[in-house]
């Protein structure tokens, strides 16, 4: 018997959909982040993000089948992602992660990945912000 994937261990697609839906609730009212989503409806962005996260954590490969390789930095390059945007993103994501009530090892693993990803996406340095 093989170990379940993280995707399966945390409840599969419903868990990732709840995470992303809660995250986008925050984004919808955020004056810094909302303009980075040009579509009037956040639904398509939420769907892409959920599919990406599900695939990353061992779920179906639906994201790559529909969009190819994630190329996260390239896809985010048109947007000014500075420390303030990163911190706003992390704030909404923290609320979303905490809302899931995952057991500590799973919560910590998910948060660690998301935090590293947020720092990786920064593409505009504020002169007052030290590099990490």
| Architecture category of domain 6-121 in CATH | Orthogonal Bundle (1.10)
Question: Could you read off the pLDDT of 66-122 as tens digits, one per residue?
Answer: 665 544 544 444 567 899 999 999 999 999 999 999 999 999 999 999 999 999 888
More confident: 104 or 130? 104
Residues near 60 by Cβ (< 8 Å), separated by ≥ 6?
54
76-89 burial, b at 16+ Cβ within 10 Å, e below that, comes to: beebebbbebbebb
**Domain positions in the chain:** 6-121
Of 92, 101, 80, the closest CA to residue 49 belongs to 92
pTM: 0.84
How many alpha carbons fall within 13 Å on the CB side of residue 11? 12
pLDDT at 20 over 60: yes
> What pLDDT shows up at residue 73?
46
């Amino acid at each position: 018997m093989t170990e379940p994937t993280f995707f399966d261990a945390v409840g599969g697609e419903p868990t990732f959909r709840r995470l992303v839906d809660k995250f986008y609730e925050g984004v919808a009212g955020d004056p810094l982040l909302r303009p980075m989503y040009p579509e009037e409806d956040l639904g398509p962005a939420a769907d892409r993000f959920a599919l990406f996260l599900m695939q990353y954590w061992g779920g179906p490969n639906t994201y790559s089948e529909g969009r190819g390789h994630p190329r996260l930095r390239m896809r985010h390059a048109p947007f000014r992602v500075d420390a303030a945007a990163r911190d706003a993103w992390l704030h909404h994501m923290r609320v979303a992660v905490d809302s899931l009530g995952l057991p500590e090892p799973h919560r910590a693993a998910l948060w660690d990945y998301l935090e590293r990803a947020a720092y990786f996406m920064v593409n505009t340095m504020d002169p007052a912000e030290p590099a990490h």
